[in-house]
């Protein structure tokens, strides 16, 4: 049911957004002339003036308002992000603002067969400035509500940030052009405001109407404000009665890492409970299951939770969440539970859109971890500045090897680094082969470097490498000013464990068999072993290689 409601909200919102956008574009044609605006209305704008178009338009408006009121009724808490509160207030103010505009156009058209053309509408606005104030206010309210809704829907979509600058430009340009078009048309209409014959021609259909029909239409605007106020008051009253009834059903307790315990009434979602307690919690989409930023890991109390709804299940499946991960906005606990938030609560919208925010996607990569052996002891035998010199030479050679074999430097960790292969789509099918070639080139370069270091410092460098391929979250992560294209996930953790395992096996490199098999790379069965990975129940089958065996993969 919630999924259907979400789809209806989205679908009707898009229909209304399309109508508003094209209607403002219609006003913008007034920059040319009233005649140009009228020509647009009778051609492009005519699609919404047909019977199917009117049914779709007014049906969408009715559904959208109904869903908004239903959402207000279902809210157990009126605490919400500022953007969501603004969108709700603007949305609820649209119907009464819209009535006057609709009556002046559609109402007089239905009862008096008045053609609501641009000559008629612009002249009416020019004669009564209060109409102009109402129109400008309606455009502003409609457009801000529309932009907020579209932005918070699209911002969790892949690629939205790429077109964000264009979106901002359109968000400002469309209403600005509409206002300019209205101003230009009012200037044009000023030429006949003192021409009684022209005015009689424009208002001929109005003057032929019955007076009681005119009075009826003019009273609708004030009545709509009263009706909307009473309707919202009724919704809030019924909502409060529902809360009192739900309070009789008892409460549940939530153990939170930042607060020992909070108590919430049954019937409130976990997200609403946290907001009621004043505990910050991430929720990029505002609690509509359009994102997964409000997800939590449930400790004790998992078995007593209701099963995920279809809407929640869809979202959790998309991120391949574990069974103990739930969405706080969709979880309505009936008993006590312990939770751990999985996304930082202090992530603002600006930080999520900034390159420093976590912004990734899942793809297959081959991860390589390289670690320099004995760096601590090196610091005891060599002066500090000499250590810096040696490390710089070490990383220079590793970086050159990565560049020569289609590898990407992803992270630096003191005396080691993490690299990714397969980021280039053209090399995706050769990621493991490229990683082995990179490892072979690294050892070749380090052997050459060691010959120099032995002469200069009587020191040499040894290193171990771990390689594993699989799906990982790849994206730009890290502080806003120094972000890196890197990866996170189980695949990365396994590669790091394999690198550490080279010490136990006394070898130069360990690569997982699954990664070799993915590209049909031959290996010696005598070098195959089963290794345990800390934090995993199952073992990983690996192959250990020496630098001599890697020579076959060295780049030509």
Above 50 in pLDDT, residue 213? yes
Closest of 310, 344, 307, 290 to residue 154, by C-alpha: 290
* Other CB atoms within 10 A of residue 494 CB: 26
Q: Is 30 helix (H, G, I), strand (E, B) or coil?
A: helix
pLDDT for the residue numbered 32: 94
Torsion of CA 493, 494, 496, 498, to 10 degrees: 170
pLDDT for the residue numbered 401: 92
User: Picking from 168-172, 251-255, 318-322, 356-360, which range would have the lowest pLDDT averaged per residue?
Assistant: 356-360
Give the side-chain half-sphere CA count within 13 A for 73: 15
**Is the separation of the CB atoms in 54 and 48 below 8 Å?**
yes
Give 107's DSSP letter.
Answer: I
User: Picking from 70-79, 445-454, 483-492, which range would have the lowest pLDDT averaged per residue?
Assistant: 70-79
pLDDT in tens, 169-185: 899 999 999 999 999 99
pLDDT in tens, 398-410: 999 998 999 988 8
* Other CB atoms within 10 A of residue 123 CB: 22
The dihedrals phi and psi of 303, each to the nearest 5 degrees, come to -70, -20
Give the side-chain half-sphere CA count within 13 A for 34: 16
Q: For residue 420, what pLDDT band results from cuts at 50, 70 and 90?
A: very high
Domains, the chain, with CATH or none = 2-243 (no CATH), 251-349 (3.10.20.30), 354-553 (3.30.70.1230)
Give 508's DSSP letter.
Answer: S
Above 80 in pLDDT, residue 539? yes
* Residue predicted with more confidence, 424 or 355: 424
* Residue predicted with more confidence, 236 or 366: 366
pLDDT for the residue numbered 438: 94
Mean pLDDT value across the chain: 82
pLDDT in tens, 304-319: 899 998 888 888 887 7
Q: Residues 190-201: what's their mean pLDDT?
A: 88
Above 60 in pLDDT, residue 450? yes
Above 60 in pLDDT, residue 359? no
Q: Residues 61-72: what's their mean pLDDT?
A: 83
251-256/337-341 β-pairing: parallel
pLDDT in tens, 489-498: 889 989 999 9
Q: For residue 348, what pLDDT band results from cuts at 50, 70 and 90?
A: very low
pLDDT in tens, 92-146: 888 878 877 776 677 676 666 777 788 988 998 898 888 899 889 999 999 998 9
Above 60 in pLDDT, residue 530? yes
Tokens of 307: 């099963």
* Residue predicted with more confidence, 441 or 474: 441
């Amino acid at each position: 049911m919630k999924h259907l409601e979400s789809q209806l909200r989205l679908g009707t919102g898009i229909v209304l957004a399309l109508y508003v956008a094209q209607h403002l574009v219609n006003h913008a044609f007034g920059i040319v002339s009233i005649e140009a605006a009228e020509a647009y209305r009778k051609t492009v704008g005519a699609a919404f003036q047909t019977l199917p178009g009117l049914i779709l338009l007014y049906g969408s408006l009715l559904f959208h308002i109904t869903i908004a009121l239903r959402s207000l009724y279902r809210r157990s808490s009126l605490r919400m992000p500022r953007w969501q509160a603004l969108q709700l207030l603007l949305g609820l103010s649209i119907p009464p603002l819209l009535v006057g505009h609709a009556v002046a156009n559609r109402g007089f058209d239905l009862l008096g067969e008045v053609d609501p053309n641009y000559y008629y509408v612009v002249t009416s606005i020019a004669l009564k400035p209060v109409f102009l104030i109402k129109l400008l206010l309606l455009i502003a309210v409609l457009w801000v509500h529309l932009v907020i809704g579209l932005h918070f829907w699209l911002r969790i979509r892949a690629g939205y940030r790429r077109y964000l600058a264009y979106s901002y430009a359109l968000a400002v340009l469309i209403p600005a052009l509409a206002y300019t078009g209205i101003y230009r048309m009012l200037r044009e209409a000023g030429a006949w405001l003192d021409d009684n014959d022209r005015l009689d021609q424009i208002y001929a259909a109005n003057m032929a109407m019955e007076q009681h029909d005119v009075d009826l239409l003019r009273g609708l605007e004030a009545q709509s404000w009263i009706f909307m106020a009473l309707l919202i008051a009724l919704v809030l009253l019924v909502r409060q009665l529902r809360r009192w009834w739900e309070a009789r059903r008892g409460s549940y307790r939530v153990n939170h890492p930042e607060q020992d315990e909070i108590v919430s009434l049954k019937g409130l979602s976990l997200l609403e409970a946290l907001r009621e307690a004043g505990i910050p919690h991430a929720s990029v989409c505002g609690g509509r299951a359009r994102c997964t930023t409000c997800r939590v890991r449930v400790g004790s109390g998992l078995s007593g939770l209701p099963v995920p709804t279809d809407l929640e299940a869809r979202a959790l499946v998309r991120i391949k969440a574990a069974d103990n991960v739930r969405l706080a906005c969709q979880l309505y606990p009936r008993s006590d539970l312990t939770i751990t938030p999985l996304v930082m609560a202090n992530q603002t919208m600006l930080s999520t859109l900034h390159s420093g925010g976590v912004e990734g996607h899942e793809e297959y990569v081959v991860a390589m971890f390289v670690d320099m052996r004995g760096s601590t002891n090196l610091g005891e035998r060599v002066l500090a500045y000499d250590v810096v010199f040696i490390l710089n030479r070490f990383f220079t050679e590793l970086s050159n090897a990565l560049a020569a074999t289609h590898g990407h430097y992803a992270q630096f960790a003191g005396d080691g680094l993490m690299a990714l292969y397969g980021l280039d789509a053209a090399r995706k099918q050769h990621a493991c082969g490229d990683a082995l070639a990179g490892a072979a080139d690294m050892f070749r370069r380090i052997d050459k470097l060691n010959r120099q270091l032995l002469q200069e410092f009587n020191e040499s460098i040894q290193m171990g490498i771990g390689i594993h391929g699989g799906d990982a979250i790849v994206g730009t992560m890290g502080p806003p000013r120094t972000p890196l294209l890197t990866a996170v996930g189980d695949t990365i953790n396994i590669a790091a464990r394999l690198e550490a395992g080279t010490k136990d096996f006394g070898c130069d490199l360990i690569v997982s068999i699954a990664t070799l098999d993915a590209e049909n790379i031959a290996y010696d069965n005598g070098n195959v072993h089963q290794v345990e990975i800390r934090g995993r129940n199952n073992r990983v089958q690996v192959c250990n290689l020496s630098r001599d065996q890697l020579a076959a993969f060295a780049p030509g």
